[in-house]
Structure 1
């Protein structure tokens, strides 16, 4: 029989060896698994804050050692994010994500079992290394599965919700676990949760196409990692040693020199770690600059607010953690609201309004008093801060990955995480120094609680001023300098079904 006349279906012998069609990708479970990875990273950032006094007693930490329980994680995380993002682009994002989660879970377990300061601090540093691989790989995979349009807006809304919930929820969970079972269960819970997330990623997130073309910029990566290490170390050490300490000044000088060397190296390398093409489309540079300023206030907020609750209002770990729930709820609601606001009012108006909303909440917090209460001094401003923070985070993340070539998605995710982390380190060091100096001066003629409150008020006042200035910058930097293309104009209203059809098949 001549099969060429039967065009309706191919002959059986030709279809026998054809691969079965791939099932349609269920994007909801994929996003849930990836967002859970981001939640774990953010949770580990804040979960130890409430438990630091118990950790210090349990392991026998000095004042400096207690500080490095927090700093070791932030230092490794911030310094290695760019390397993690580029590794994800070159080696495969799913592969790097799974490896990062495995290291993160193992290091968390080791931290919970630690009996000496050295082991605990080393485990926290290893947690940071795992987080530096996890965060950019997860964000890149999310952007890969949710192209530009309404689908990406929803994905970024979920991303913002879990990021804020991880920061605020860490304080709550840390208080609950510390009071109920002791500080080791903080790390055991993170280890168990990370293992479950790893299993979900392995089961739900489809394998990528494998390695991508290009070489790893080892010289550039080493240089910028050393520069960021020096910078973050100097800033975190300055909080205790002071800005005039010789070690701090030497580390800052080394960071400046290494960053200058990195800039020269990148201009001469064909496979640069941060290629210039990253900034030729979209509003990537503006998004990263504004994210750094937002981060400078964000991390400091979750540092000072629990301290005020515990040291001034006298709240215990559990009550302090529970006090973060309204902020977390506002954060989650704002994250889901952000894509709709952006489609209706545009990116510039949305991010500017969000920053001003958060600034108003922080200005309200600057009126705290030593004889205040949670309801009078914290609840209202927490809701404003949570709304503004979440909407700004979602919008700035979208701007920071806007128009980025697909092969650089992991690097773009790493860059926006790096700017937030480094901005947070700079902001926390500066605000902690300011609050400490104000408290020291006030303690000369006021009771200790009054002096502490004065220091916290100064930190919140300056934070509000920083965000108000950031809102002005956002108004200037996020406007489009050229006409939008037809494709750009159609993106916000592109339905999810069209996104599914437009996505390249693997």
Structure 2
């Protein structure tokens, strides 16, 4: 029961990124919003969510998982209600930012609570493998829900599910988990928190909107790494990355490839093939069985083959799926193969990133993993859409080339992830 609630929360938090995608034209008409306002509303949730995840993870370790989770979900639920009731653009923008703040507190704390549900390392490993596919399921659920709601109901109803999920989660978690023990260390690296938050937010926003803002984000993250070396209680101890760097890179690349592939395919199906928003949403239901099947399978494969070997298999399968998707006229085989490979990748990477983590660093591990997941889509969209445009002015040709470039990047990462054979 506890794991089901936590998993539903993770799906909801990720779905809230994409849940307004199909509803954007209706929102623009209703609130009389200009294009600049639409850009801000579209990115506000992701910027606040991605920028604050590291800080949210550290707060979870410092102040208590249940306390931070309940606080985050309460903020998320109230902000979702405010977004649904928004009467002017500024109100919706503030509500989406507040949603992201609540999500950044709740997501790493939820992942840390999984270790409380499954204290046995073997069962926890299988649970983490399943956890890895929940973000993919959330991204798909948000797109589908947006299309369904906007077909029959006003756009404001897209925020009902987050409100209900928040109320259920706050009530259930308060009953299912004991109160947190008094924190051993309340010291918080405020300088690191400011540098990491502003750096990640600038990086995510600048990669699509401004080269100067992107460069500023890079500078802030460099300053963050320097500050962490001198901090007595660092927000993210740099040695903690260690062997987790490659799994985190794999998550970033795969999340970026998935966001870009679904974005390009959504435009193609509606603008070239003439599908309605509802029909397009229905097409994105195809990956759901593959995504959910990949989690349990990854858990069994990891037991037999090892985490890094399954990570390499997942990346290679995802690369093959992108190649199939690049044939845009018949994308349906790719819609099955790519999400299956991505699910294996996310599951194996989640397990690799959370193995051998101290109890007081589980929130940090969750924050890092979610940050990698959030940075991937804006980076992938910015780079691959630019590649598609530069390659060809014909959308189908350029999009296919961009998907093949993404496939090559995943295949290269798969080769780097594969365990090296020992020579005697």
TM-score bracket for the superposition, by shorter chain length? over 0.9
Paired residues of 2:320 and 2:407 also in contact (CA < 8 A): yes
Distance 1:156 1:196, change over 3 A: same
Distance 2:123 2:89 in 1: 46
CA distance in structure 1 between the aligned counterparts of 2:23 and 2:158, rounded to whole angstroms: 9
- The 1-side partners of 2:289 and 2:31 are apart by 34
Deviation at 1:187, TM superposition (A): 1.3
For the pair 1:421 / 2:349, whether they are aligned, the reply is no
- Say yes or no: does 1:338 pair with 2:278: no
Match of 1:288 among 219, 243, 248: 248
Compare 200-209 and 127-136 and name the one that shifted more.
Answer: 200-209
TM, length-normalised to structure 1 = 0.79
Deviations 1:115-149 (A, max 9, x none): 22222122111111111111101001113432463
Alpha-carbon distance in 1 for matches of 2:36, 2:267:
18
When Rg is computed on C-alpha atoms for both structures, the one with the higher figure is: 1
Pair 1:124 & 2:96 matched: yes
Cα offsets for 1:455-491 (capped at 9, x unmatched): 3223322221221122112126xx699xxxxxxxxxx
Q: Which residue of 1 aligns with 2:211?
A: 249
Match of 1:232 among 201, 204, 210: 204
Aligned to 2:416: 473
- Out of 348, 351, 367, the residue aligned to residue 398 of structure 1 is 351
How far apart are the structure 2 equivalents of 1:189 and 1:31?
19
Report whether the alignment pairs 1:50 with 2:9. no
Query: Is the 2:147–2:281 contact (alpha carbons within 8 Å) kept by the matching residues of 1?
Result: yes
Q: Flag the structure with higher helix content.
A: 2
Aligned-pair distance for 1:388?
A: 0.5
What is the total number of aligned residue pairs between the two structures?
422
Match of 2:4, SS?
helix
Do the aligned residues in 2 keep the contact of 1:308 with 1:456 (CA within 8 Å)? no
Match of 2:118 in 1: 146
Q: 1:202: which partner in 2?
A: 174
Equivalent residue runs for 1:443-454 within 5 Å: 451-454=394-397
Structure 1 residue 214, shift from structure 2 partner:
4.4
Asked if structure 1 preserves the Cα contact closer than 8 Å seen for 2:9 and 2:165, the reply is no
Alignment of 1:366-385 (within 5 A): 366-368=326-328, 372=329, 377-385=330-338
Aligned to 1:274: 236
Q: In the alignment, does 2:68 pair up with 1:108? A: no
Contact map agreement 1:93 1:208 (CA 8 A) in 2:
yes
Structure-2 change in CA distance of 1:220 and 1:161 (3 Å): closer
TM-score normalised per structure 2: 0.94
| CA distance in structure 1 between the partners assigned to 2:415 and 2:269 by the alignment | 31
Match of 1:297 in 2: 257
- 1:265 aligns to what SS in structure 2? helix
Query: 1:105 & 1:326 partners in 2: Cα distance?
Result: 29
In 1: Cα distance, 2:175 partner to 2:263 partner: 36
The whole-number CA distance in structure 1 between the counterparts of 2:39 and 2:215 is 23
* Unpaired segments ≥5 residues, structure 2: none
CA distance, structure 1, for counterparts of residue 182 and residue 247 of structure 2? 29
- Alpha-carbon offset, residue 79 of structure 1: 0.6
- Is the CA contact (8 Å cut-off) linking 1:356 and 1:388 kept in structure 2? yes
The 3 A distance-change label for structure 1 pair 297 and 51 is: same
Deviations 1:331-366 (A, max 9, x none): 001111110011112222211111111111111111
Partner residue, 1:459: 402
1:9 match: none
Deviation, 1:391, is 0.9
Q: Indicate whether 1:92 and 2:54 are aligned.
A: no
Equivalent pair of 2:108/2:366 in contact (CA under 8 Å): yes
Instruction: Give 3-state SS (helix, strand or coil) of 2:418's partner.
Output: helix
Is 1:356–2:316 an aligned residue pair? yes
Q: Is the 8 A contact 1:89 1:212 kept in 2?
A: no
